[in-house]
Structure 1
Amino acid sequence: MEATSTTNSSSSTPTSSSLRWKILRRALLRKHSSVPDDHSDMGLNRVSRKATQGFNLIPRLIVDDHSGEPSDTLLSRNTLLGSSKDAFLCYKLPIHNSPYIRLCQRVDDGADLNDFEVCNRHNIDNTGLVCLWPSEDVLAYYSLSNTDMFRDKRVIELGSGYGLAGLVIAVVTEALEVVITDGNPQVVDYIQQSIEANSGAFGGSQVKSMVLHWNHPEKIDMLNSFDIIVASDCTFFKEFHKDLARTIRMLLKKKSSSEAILLSPRRGMFCTILAGERPKRKHTTWH
């Protein structure tokens, strides 16, 4: 990685890239040091960052630690008892009877250096642990709006992060089976907690979590098994594109109709790679 200059050559104004490094530095050091950060906040607010609430297509509430009831408050460490890094959120589905899905996830300011150690040990990324990304919100809403397509189907979500979309499919679509996967074992632990918290709402659907690394899809016993694959914003790292496309090809059913639904910004050559991996058969749809 090239070093980044802290100022523009024509002025003393910090560059956007140096301000982002400053944000990262604070996130890593503030819980591990008692020394106050004496750097100025000047300019931090002008740096582009992810919006906390995403598109808010499915409203969320935090489960209050005292009452166990949903509470309209910000998702941060100081809203919870003690120093817990985790919280249960209630997502109120905008459909008849307004059912809730309880999702266990990390609080927004709960990053820990151990997270990066786990990533290095397993050669994985940390994106699924950072937050529930807006694209997952969109995929969950899409699934709510197209419940019939999942009925009696075997469905797998790839790179699910906290797995909101997979849980929505499990709760409202009458899918035969829903497998919610991620490559980060910490994230999969959160998914499993959410599955257990919502188990009474799955009806006849079989739901399970699983660690799945795209560079070794053959290690699971579910090849050529799924009617539908869903994924959201799984193309951020270009070095994973080929493995993702290959994994999709290996998991989709070959002897009957199947489809892959990916919601993602256009990045690099992924669409071309995906087209190259597309099975040469009539009944498979990728979109």
Structure 2
Amino acid sequence: METGAPTTAKPSSLRWKILRQALLRKPTDEQSAIGVKRITRKTTQGFNLIPSNLVEDHPTNLTDATACYTIPIDSAPKLYLTQRVVDRAELSDFEICNQYNIDNTGLVCQWPSEEALAYFCLRNADMFRSKSVIELGAGYGLAGLVIAAVTEASEVVISDGNPQVVDYIQRNIDANSKAFGGTRVKSMMLHWNQNEKSNISSTFDLIVASDCTFFKEFHNGLAQIVKFLLEKVRPAEAIFFSPKRGDSLDKFLEKIKESNLCFSITENYDTEIWKRHNQLMNGDGSWPSYEKDHCYPLLVRIAL
């Protein structure tokens, strides 16, 4: 009799098994590791567009580490992001997810789509100059911090719906405050399904986000937040970086259309990112589980 999850197990079953292992703090066996690869394309390297290295002499605790990101343009400041590095979930993570009706992916890693968004923003700095910008679902906030450091935006608000993530964002803002020049930078707790949108008093010329369309249960709330923010300033635009991930992106764009918003999709939007994508598709070995549908972020531009 065989034990463990069969190769035909549904992703939901695999997630429950991983959750059980996380709560029991038991190491995953080989079969479980295969299961993880089937439901996530997490990578420790990504596209390597903005090189980073761990800062060993930076004060850390047992769960956190600080990475130094070197922005690949002349005279740009280095950015220091504290990130969680433990390879297991804590019970408190799931309690917070249940309490706030959120997911916990912002704490998992620095997602490659966020790196691609950050790189696109620094390569197109002119579109942000003197603009007010908000990043949705920012995770550790790399893209928002890059915008603040290199584009001369007037204001950058880096938001997430998970209070644990917002704590990391604020720590990273504080750690890099000297890199922002005259740009005002702050964190914000923003849940896409919140009813009290009137609490958002600021107006924004540009909305940016990466990998926010994965969970279909949040699509409607995300579309409504985008519409609400776009209607406050005209003209305004939202820039999303998201892989297709099966029909997940398509389902989100259906909600965008239902909200009477317009969108365009661009596959080849930057020569360097496209080059890295093709290298990975040809199997250069740096990202073994790379698949276009799950890993390569498309550029989606949304407007009224």
TM-score range, shorter chain: 0.7 to 0.9
Matches within 5 A, 1:223-262: 225-252=203-230, 254-262=232-240
Select 1:41's aligned residue among 25, 30, 42. 30
Equivalent position of 1:74 in the other structure: none
Residue 164 (structure 1) aligned with residue 136 (structure 2): no
**What do you get for the CA RMSD once the two structures are aligned?**
2.8
- The answer to whether the 8 Å contact 1:108/1:131 transfers is no
Equivalent position of 2:52 in the other structure: 60
Residue 94 (structure 1) aligned with residue 72 (structure 2): yes
Select 1:270's aligned residue among 245, 252, 260. 252
Provide the C-alpha distance between the structure 1 equivalents of 2:214 and 2:108, rounded to a whole number of angstroms: 14
Q: TM-score, normalised by structure 1?
A: 0.79
Provide the C-alpha distance between the structure 1 equivalents of 2:171 and 2:31, rounded to a whole number of angstroms: 41
Matches within 5 A, 1:1-287: 6=4, 8=6, 22-30=17-25, 41=30, 44-45=33-34, 47-48=37-38, 49-64=41-56, 67-68=57-58, 84-216=62-194, 218-219=196-197, 221-222=199-200, 225-252=203-230, 254-266=232-244, 267=248, 268-278=250-260, 286=302
Q: TM-score, normalised by structure 2?
A: 0.75
The structure showing larger relative contact order (alpha-carbon pairs under 8 Å, at least 6 residues apart) is 2
5+ long unaligned stretches in structure 2 = 263-300
* Structure 2 SS opposite 1:252: helix
Distance 1:278 1:175, change over 3 A: farther
Provide the C-alpha distance between the structure 2 equivalents of 1:181 and 1:43, rounded to a whole number of angstroms: 33
Deviation at 1:146, TM superposition (A): 0.5
- The answer to whether the 8 Å contact 1:159/1:183 transfers is yes
Provide the C-alpha distance between the structure 1 equivalents of 2:68 and 2:217, rounded to a whole number of angstroms: 35
Deviations 1:38-91 (A, max 9, x none): x85357458444222222211111111xx33xxxxxxxxxxx97x611111111
Provide the C-alpha distance between the structure 2 equivalents of 1:248 and 1:219, rounded to a whole number of angstroms: 11
Identical-pair percentage: 56
Q: Which has the larger radius of gyration?
A: 1
Provide the C-alpha distance between the structure 2 equivalents of 1:271 and 1:115, rounded to a whole number of angstroms: 29
Deviates more, 1:168-177 or 1:256-265: 256-265
Distance 1:160 1:40, change over 3 A: closer
Distance 1:253 1:15, change over 3 A: closer
Equivalent position of 1:76 in the other structure: none
Equivalent position of 2:275 in the other structure: none
* Structure 2 SS opposite 1:230: strand
